[in-house]
Structure 1
Amino acid sequence: MSDLSSAELQKQIEDLQRETKLLRAEREELIDDKRITDILLSKSDAIASETDLDKLLTLINDEARELLEADRCTVFVLDDEKGELWSRVATGIGRSEIRIPKDMGIAGHVATTGESINIPDAYDDPRFNRDVDKATGYRTRALLCMPMRNRQQDTIGVVQVLNKKEWGGRFDDKDEKLLEILSTMAANQLEIAQLVDELQKMFDSVVETLAATIDARDPITAGHSKRVTLYCLQVAEQLNFDQKQKDLLRYSALLHDYGKIGVREAVLTKDGRLEDDEYKHIQTHVVLSKEILRKMYFRKDLRAIPEIAGAHHEKVDGSGYPKQSAGDTIPLMGRIMGIADVFDALTYKRHYRDPMPIERVLKILESEQNKHFDPLVVRSFFSVPVSNIASIIVHDAVGRLPKEDEETFTRYALGDFYSAVTRGKDQQSEGERRLVERFIDLYNSRS
């Protein structure tokens, strides 16, 4: 070693330093690769466990944005029948459905050609559509867009990430590889979620058709099942039901009168009040609903539908039918359905009477607490915004609420309206007077 010159020693030191640096870089790359592998595995588990289409699209969006350290991400799904790309996910610009022609812009090019695109500045590419940037004030620079392919290698969607937050704001080769892996995982699960979504739509259409079939037997009560369902969901919102609870309530409400298929038409559509024997006959629809629904196959989280649908004529004081159940022995959703059913019956024309004045209907609901109705459900119903109740009541007659009325009604709950009505005009504020006058005018305009 002593025979070496200082220059040769310096060269050996530099060589060793270079080798050490390379070894350190390789070690760091291995550590980084392991970290990325761990991240991808965790994301793969999350994606593979989600079968709800909307939730899956949100998850893919969030995972891609986080993994690639992008400012924004949009996941587009290809709708071949309509020739469009659509998305309900657009981080940073709200959650609303976007639909574009499937050959429009960068995403459209990727969808139609199957090519991946990575450009440092989108404005330098003539295929980029600047309209969204103009509308939102956003400035798209770096853009990485990749197709999602199913097992047959057909493009079924596109993942697009914008503006990398670090490393000069550009997406590199490693980003492309990461997005390719993520897109492959996402595409496999997207295909499953689309199949689940199709089955759900088919189930929904069958339930809604069954409900409409019953309503169609009597033109006077047409739309009853749908309106009862909408009122039930308003109460569910006040009670903070989760989505599974809302789904159970919705299907139960849609099918609650299905037993009327066994009620004689002469009784169902009779003008004037029913005789005692006719009233007893029409009461049998509740038991029949329950019996028919028990024969239907429902998935595990919907198997309570027959019990709930069969409880909508029970009363909390035990004087209802068919089981004379009382209090908490009546399913909560049955109690909710009970008030929705009565409210709709009183606010719409029947063979034996015209709609009741809205203030009288609300007085009945209030006075029947602890007798017919659960006070908790009454309070929740009275907490619903007037705009939501009014929209359901008048939809068939006037369609969408006038914008000015909607703005007024949104500021008040149904209980506020009832309180203002009972106080009288002299004790109402200017806003309350307008609320009362407009709601009653719209309510009465249906006839």
Structure 2
Amino acid sequence: MSTNSLMERLDDLRSRQKKIDDTWKNTGNKPLLEFFIELIPRVLDCERCSIFILDPEANDIWLQCGTGLEERAVSVHLDDSMVGRVISSASPLFEHNMNQRAGVHEWIDIQTGFVTHNALCVPVKGSSENTVTGAIQVLNKQPGSEFTHDDCEILEKLASHMQMNIENIFLRQQLAKLLDDVGVAIKKIEGHLDQ
């Protein structure tokens, strides 16, 4: 095969890769998640709701969407946050009097201009029982009360209904990384062909 023919095939592959990458990055059912972000605080009588996605390769968790927040406005390490503990344990967690304790939530509060008093966080499990793809966290039960086990049951039911959508985001991020790796490999091949 001639160098020109190889270059044409590489250009075609690069073009296809870009289309796939753009499609995966821009798809998803974000409006549905945003609807849940609006709905959940009303149902649970709380101030905020956030949906977090796990990046298993980096051991980071990032915000997909949240009340008054942009995508990826919050990113925390798996080991140092309430959301990380929920994802690691695959179990719900209640936190009280957070404004009186030190933790990563203080930094996030400063970053977002919010004060966290109490929180409830539940895992979003993947289609396999052994995987957790993210978490849903609600903050500041109103008026001055704490989250209950009934709130937890409601949030867990909502998490199970959101599971497929969140797992699709989880899988899309893995595919996007794979496509980035393919792009790097194509550039290396091009470099060898140019020599």
Q: TM-score range by the shorter chain?
A: 0.5 to 0.7
Deviations 1:59-111 (A, max 9, x none): 34233223212201111100101111011323134555322111221111111
Say which SS state the counterpart of residue 131 (structure 1) adopts. Answer: helix
Closer, same or farther in 2 for the Cα pair 1:178/1:92, shift >3 Å?
same
- Residue 184 of structure 1 corresponds to 160
- Residue 56 of structure 2 corresponds to 80
Closer, same or farther in 2 for the Cα pair 1:105/1:201, shift >3 Å?
closer
- Output the CA distance in 2 between the equivalents of 1:115 and 1:126: 22
Closer, same or farther in 2 for the Cα pair 1:136/1:164, shift >3 Å?
same
Query: How many equivalent residue pairs?
Result: 158
Say which SS state the counterpart of residue 157 (structure 1) adopts. Answer: strand
Deviations 1:20-43 (A, max 9, x none): xxxxxxxxxxxxxxxxxxxxxxxx
- Output the CA distance in 2 between the equivalents of 1:56 and 1:203: 26
- Residue 14 of structure 1 corresponds to none
- Output the CA distance in 1 between the equivalents of 2:124 and 2:49: 14
Deviations 1:356-378 (A, max 9, x none): xxxxxxxxxxxxxxxxxxxxxxx
TM superposition score normalised by structure 2: 0.66
Say which SS state the counterpart of residue 134 (structure 2) adopts. Answer: strand
Residue type of the partner of 1:184?
A: S
| CA positional deviation for 1:117 | 1.0
CA contact (8 A) 2:53 2:170 kept: no
- Residue 65 of structure 1 corresponds to 41
Deviations 1:236-256 (A, max 9, x none): xxxxxxxxxxxxxxxxxxxxx
**Which of 135, 145, 159 is the equivalent residue of 2:136?**
159
Deviations 1:202-249 (A, max 9, x none): 89999x99xx9xxxxxxxxxxxxxxxxxxxxxxxxxxxxxxxxxxxxx
Are 2:94 and 1:118 equivalent residues in the alignment? Answer: yes
Say which SS state the counterpart of residue 141 (structure 1) adopts. Answer: coil
TM superposition score normalised by structure 1: 0.31
- Residue 81 of structure 2 corresponds to 105
Deviations 1:245-295 (A, max 9, x none): xxxxxxxxxxxxxxxxxxxxxxxxxxxxxxxxxxxxxxxxxxxxxxxxxxx
- Output the CA distance in 1 between the equivalents of 2:78 and 2:178: 26
Structure 2: unaligned runs, 5 residues or longer = 1-26, 188-195
Deviations 1:382-423 (A, max 9, x none): xxxxxxxxxxxxxxxxxxxxxxxxxxxxxxxxxxxxxxxxxx
Report the structure number with the largest CA radius of gyration: 1
- Taking only the aligned residue pairs, the percentage that are identical comes to 26
Say which SS state the counterpart of residue 97 (structure 1) adopts. Answer: coil
Residue type of the partner of 1:164?
A: K
Deviations 1:165-223 (A, max 9, x none): 24x432112111100101111113322454467678889999x99xx9xxxxxxxxxxx
Coordinate RMSD, CA, aligned: 3.2
- Output the CA distance in 1 between the equivalents of 2:177 and 2:58: 18
Are 2:131 and 1:149 equivalent residues in the alignment? Answer: no
- Output the CA distance in 2 between the equivalents of 1:187 and 1:93: 21
175-184 or 120-129, larger mean C-alpha shift: 120-129
**Which of 67, 85, 88 is the equivalent residue of 1:91?**
67
- Output the CA distance in 2 between the equivalents of 1:179 and 1:81: 27
Structure 1 or 2: more helix by fraction: 1
Closer, same or farther in 2 for the Cα pair 1:136/1:74, shift >3 Å?
same
- Output the CA distance in 1 between the equivalents of 2:100 and 2:84: 17
| CA positional deviation for 1:127 | 5.2
Structure 1: unaligned runs, 5 residues or longer = 1-50, 213-447
CA contact (8 A) 2:86 2:123 kept: yes
Closer, same or farther in 2 for the Cα pair 1:70/1:200, shift >3 Å?
same
- Output the CA distance in 2 between the equivalents of 1:87 and 1:162: 14
- Residue 132 of structure 1 corresponds to 108
- Residue 20 of structure 2 corresponds to none
| CA positional deviation for 1:133 | 1.7
